[in-house]
């Protein structure tokens, strides 16, 4: 199955990051501790210094160093100021690699995770397109946490569904990732071709769009740190198109 076009519909949200600086009417920059941080193992933070638009698109850098025996991982993330619901989301992204330029030669390395995803309130809604540098894979995961008062148990399969995708070019080239979120299912297309359909634990609450690149030092998620070798995540464009309203 291939993706039918929605080009005739007007996106409710879009950004091609071509203005040389971040549009702060649309986005906020994260400046807090990143996931996968553990005392004595990995001190991870999001920093404004790692968010750059000088190459005509969004670039988020990850760097890692060791201080007093602890890995310090510096990454970046931007978060939409508005929340969005059912519809079609399109991300044109080149996942985490060693290339300091958008079209240069680069490879994935262990110790970094790059992603475009939707998130709200302790995974009450979460839909991830998450690239793990150590695996050279994209994990497509949706979450529907029934108890929004507490963070979900990441190992609880009753509140999520996951598909793992392998493609040697995720970090080597740009691809268009299209996420079609409907009330009963989520479909994901890469470059117009359907790669997975999820119908379990489909979230129902509007969520923020997040683009992030973070450092890890783990044997189970993202891999152990690569110290002293920067990695780069590029995003050419993001857009959201709601489903057309049906005639009443």
In tens, the pLDDT along 36-82 reads 899 999 999 999 999 999 999 999 999 999 999 999 999 999 999 99
**CB under 8 Å to 111, separation ≥6 — which residues?**
62, 64, 73, 133, 134, 215, 216, 217, 222, 223, 224, 225, 226
Sign of CA dihedral 35, 37, 42, 44: positive
Specify the CATH class of 13-242 in words: mainly beta
Concatenated DSSP letters for 24-45? TTTEEE--SBPTT-BTTTEEEE
Residue ranges of the chain whose pLDDT lies below 70:
4-8, 246-248
Domain boundaries, the chain: 13-242
pLDDT at 6: 46
Picking from 174, 234, 213, 176, the residue whose alpha carbon sits closest to that of residue 53 is: 234
pTM above 0.85, yes or no: yes
């Amino acid at each position: 199955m291939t993706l039918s076009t929605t080009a005739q519909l007007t996106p409710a949200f879009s950004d091609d990051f071509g203005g040389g600086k971040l549009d702060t009417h649309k986005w906020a920059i994260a400046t807090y501790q990143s996931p996968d941080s553990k005392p004595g193992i990995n001190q991870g933070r999001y920093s404004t210094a790692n968010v750059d638009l000088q190459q005509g698109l969004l670039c988020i850098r990850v760097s890692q160093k060791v201080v007093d025996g602890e890995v310090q991982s510096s990454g970046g993330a931007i978060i939409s100021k508005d929340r969005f619901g059912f519809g079609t989301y399109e991300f044109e992204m080149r996942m985490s690699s060693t290339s300091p330029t958008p079209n240069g030669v680069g490879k994935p390395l262990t110790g970094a995770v790059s992603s475009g995803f939707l998130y709200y309130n302790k995974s009450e809604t979460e839909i991830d397109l998450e690239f793990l540098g150590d695996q050279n894979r994209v994990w497509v995961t949706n979450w529907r946490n029934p108890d929004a008062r507490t963070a979900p148990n990441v190992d609880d399969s009753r509140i999520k569904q996951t598909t793992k995708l392998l493609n040697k070019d995720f970090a080597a080239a740009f691809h268009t990732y299209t996420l079609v979120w409907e009330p009963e299912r989520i479909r994901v297309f890469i470059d117009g071709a359907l790669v997975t359909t999820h119908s379990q634990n489909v979230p129902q609450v509007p969520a923020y769009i997040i683009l992030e690149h973070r450092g890890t030092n783990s044997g189970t998620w993202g891999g152990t740190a690569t110290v002293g070798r920067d990695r780069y995540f590029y995003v050419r464009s993001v857009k959201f198109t709601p489903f057309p309203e049906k005639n009443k």
